Amino acid sequence: MQHTFLDRLSPDVQKLVKYIEGAIGTEIDVSIDSSRVGRGPDGSGILACKISERGAMLLVPMHDYFPDGGVVHEMLHVRRILVDGVPRLSENPDSPRWNCSIGATLTNLDNALEHLVIVPEEIRLRPERADWWASVIETTWLTKLPAIPDPEDQRRWALMSVAFLSLVLPSSAVVGNAEALLEKLDLRNDALQFLAAVTPKLMSKEELTRACFEELRLPTDIALFEYLDCQHRERREAPL
């Protein structure tokens, strides 16, 4: 990572960055992406990362916005995929059900699955991030979920959001709103069944994904597991 950015991080976050870079054998670049300006729960912008078998790039909205908590979050994503060897989801173009929107759907689903593991560690390392995520989940339950027009999509994202709320922020002020919406959508039993199915599988991305696909009523042939080996610059895929 460029020292103009690395030197602005707290010592423990610098250590995390250097550990990841040593493990993958390449530096993590930081790049300005102005499209990320004004986004996030407080409108201050959000970070993101691009990950491939060649390494990782951290995207920031502006040079002056480089918060420890946001960097920790993205580095945990990078560590999971490139160091721990956890697969991410990619679309299967050979599926008879393939369409042009599947890629974005799988990216969002994969991100949501990763957050069930990453965000608790992120909050442990940076407790103040709990407020940031509380704002995110509040917007989800009060604004985004009620506005989803397709009932099946609404069900899927409601169940994923239930998992995040229950496993990451169980004391959130929005719990009552979530319960009310689940009741309105007749999803209370589905939510309980979903939690029972996915909670024991959190330590295995493959098992967690399969459980989610079954409970979300998604066909497994639309997706592949993608494994990235940065040391050898290799990428391989496997069916779910």
Handedness of CA 213, 217, 221, 223 (dihedral sign): negative
* pLDDT digit string, tens, across residues 65-111: 899 999 999 999 999 999 999 999 999 999 888 887 888 899 999 99
How many C-beta neighbours within 10 Å does residue 178 have? 22
Domain ranges of the chain: 1-84, 88-225
Closest by CA to 38, choosing from 65, 57, 58, is 65
Query: Is pTM, for the whole model, over 0.85?
Result: yes
pLDDT digits (tens, 9 = 90+) for 44-65: 788 999 999 999 999 999 888 8
**Model confidence pLDDT, tens digit, residues 172-213:** 999 999 999 999 999 999 999 999 999 999 999 999 999 999
> DSSP assignment of 41-53, as one string?
TTSS---EEEEET
> Which ranges of the chain would DSSP assign to H, the alpha helix?
3-6, 11-24, 68-78, 102-125, 129-139, 151-167, 175-184, 188-198, 205-215
